[in-house]
Structure formats: structure tokens, C-alpha cells
Amino acid sequence: MKTSKILPPAINSAPSCAISAIRQAKTLEIALSGDWVLDAQLPALEPILAQIETQAIEKIVVSTAALGRWDSMLVTELIKLIDYAEQKQVAVDKTTLPASIQGLLTLVSAVPERVDAHRDQTRTSWARALTVSTGKAIQHGREMLIFVGEMIISTFATIRGQAHFRRQDLWLYIQECGPSALPIVTLISLLVGLILAFVGAVQLSLFGAQIYIANLVSLGMTREMGGLMTAIIMSGRTGAAYAAQIGTMHVNSEIDALKTMNLDPMAFLVLPRMLALIIIMPLLCLYADLMGIIGGGFVTVNFFDVSLTEYLDRTAHAVKMKDFIIGFVKCSVFGILIALSGCMRGMQCGRSASAVGDAGTSAVVTAIVFIVVADSVMTIICNRLGI
């Protein structure tokens, strides 16, 4: 009886098993033989099922005299046979089976299958898929609005001192998204300044106007590229981290715990992060502008025959305070958008390990889309207003 217990150690040929049926009056005698184990080649059950169907059988007896080893392979086949027989209202005599198989069959049928638990997986037409995805998009939009609304409410609650806001958390987040981001911001901004200088130089040197590289680089960095590149770095670096942090807290029911302690997760988790980014982004932007101008200066002075003093003088003339301010405003807006998409995706995170990964990915994608759209809108507005 202890047949399933031997693990096949290096079998050269697949174990063989067979099933045969003999009809005697209205009884079908099914004989099982050989080893019914996981790596065996199963004989087809269909001919026997067909025999039950066509030959007006009333009773099935299973003989296991020649049965060798067996495991789940045999039991699943027996379940199929018994289910089919029950459908056709044919009695199956289980008493001839080994006791342990009988025990397993009893266990299997001990808890009836929950029919209502089954899920249908039907193929959908493209029209249906379109409706579903439109519905999803609308749902996403609604969730976003709800999130923004909740955030505004808790911002006011915090200002009025009604919500719990941990100041030490704010310093921690500022440390995380500020000083720790300097190396990568330095590298990227230097290179962007360098690229701007090269791109401009090719055109400007045609007219002998290399000196205007300084204008191009400094205006380009302060008004546009400094803020944009910082925002893109920060959305990958900090936005994704926020989504993953809050998402993991969601998976571990930490958010639920906060709620039960009467702490508003918005004020407790989202606001400090957002505030940290709003404070830090303009500073990082200023730093990035400076680095970009240095990168551009390096190229201009070394390759295009302009002296350092001339470059700096031109730069000082070209850039006005308002250019810096436009850059800062843009960058603060980007900061809000990054924190918003990061925290939102984190709060909307599902409760599985892969959901945290999805939250991180979608936080970065959302943030970059938001940033580029917001940047275009702000650039057009500035252009129209003539600032």
C-alpha cells in the first residue's frame, strides 16, 4: 500500500501504466496496472468513458490487483472517472480500492465545491475592451481628483493644527531628497549645459557669434532645462521611492494601522513628503542652473575661443532675476506633481508584492507625463504674457 513513497531515482525509461475494462452483464470491471506516477505516460481514459456511455452500464468495479506505485496522477484520473460515472448515474464501487485512496477520495468530496466561487474568463470583443478601458480611464481620473481633494482638505487641517504632522519626518525627507540627490544632479546638469553649448555653437559659429553661446546656455538652463532635468531625475529617484515606501506600508497594513490610531495618512505620510519636495526642488534647480552654466562655460572657453571673463559677463547680462524665478516656480510645481504622483500611486497600491513594483513604475510614468504637460502649459503662458 505504501506505494507512492518511493521517489524515482534516475529512471531510464518512463514508468508505464495501463487501464483496461471488461464488461460483464451490466457491470464494467476496470483493471488498473503498472505505475501511475507523475512522470508516467498516461493511457487515454476516453474509450472507457465512451464504453460507460454506450453500453448501458449500471455499476463500475475497479480492480487494483496489478497496480504498482501510485500518486496524484492516479487519484486525479479516478476523480475524473467517478465524476463522469456520477453524471451518468452509474454506481462506482470504491471498496475495492486501497484504503488510502479511499481516504483521499473521501477528503476530496468532504467539502463540496463552491460553485459560486468560480470565475468566468470569457473573451471580450474590441468594443467591450474599449468600453472597459474608457471606464478605467474615467475611474483613474476620479481617483486622482479624490486624492487631490483629500490632500487639500488635510493641508488645511494641518494648517489649522487639527492634523498630526511630524516635523522630524519633514527633515528626514528633506535630507533624503535634497543633499543625497546632489551627485546625480551635478552630473546630469553639467552634461546638459555641455550639450546645450555644443548644439548652439555649431549654428552660432557660422555667424562668428560664439559669444552668444553664453546667452543660449544660461537662458536655456535657468528658464527650462535646469528645472526640467531636475524634475525628471527626482521623479525617478524620489517619486518612485515614495510610491514604493507607501505601497509597502499598504501591503503591510500599516496605513490601516494609522487610520485606526486616528492619524490621517494624508497628513502623516503624504504632506511631509510633498512639502519636502516643494522646499527642495527650487534649491536643486538653482544648483542645476549653476552646474549647467559651468558645463556650458567649460565648452565655450575651451573649444570656441571665448575667454572666461567674456562668458561670465555675457551670462550676467543675459539672465535676469525673472528667468530664475520662472525656473523656481516651474520647479516647485514639478515638485508638487512628483510628490503627488508618487504618493498617489503608493496609496492606490494593491496588496501584493508585484503591486508595489507596478506602483513604482506608474508613479514615474505619471510624474513625467504631468511634468511635460505642465511645463508646456507654463511655457505657453509665459510666452503669451511676455515674461
Enumerate binding residues for other proteins (CB under 8 A).
Answer: 1-2, 4-5, 7, 9, 38-39, 42, 71-73, 75-76, 79-80, 100, 103-104, 106-119, 121, 251, 350-355
Burial of 33 (0-12, 13-18, 19+ CB in 10 A): middle
Name which of 5 and 167 has its Cβ closer to other proteins. Answer: 5
Name which of 3 and 218 has its Cβ closer to other proteins. Answer: 3
Name which of 16 and 109 has its Cβ closer to other proteins. Answer: 109
* 345-370: burial string, b at 16+ Cβ within 10 Å, e else: bbbbbeeeeebbebbbebbbebbbeb
Q: How far is the CB of 169 from other proteins (least distance, A)?
A: 28
Name which of 41 and 175 has its Cβ closer to other proteins. Answer: 41
Eight-state DSSP code of residue 211: G
Q: How far is the CB of 359 from other proteins (least distance, A)?
A: 13
Closest by CA to 364, choosing from 250, 282, 248, 243, is 243
Residues 6+ apart with CB under 8 A from 347: 147, 246, 250, 255, 265, 270
Name which of 141 and 350 has its Cβ closer to other proteins. Answer: 350
Which helix (H) or strand (E) element contains residue 64?
Answer: strand 59-70
Q: How far is the CB of 74 from other proteins (least distance, A)?
A: 10
Name which of 1 and 206 has its Cβ closer to other proteins. Answer: 1
Q: How far is the CB of 71 from other proteins (least distance, A)?
A: 4
Residues 6+ apart with CB under 8 A from 48: 19, 21, 28, 30, 81
The amino acid present at 261, given as its one-letter code, is M
Q: Which residue has the cell 505505475?
A: 35
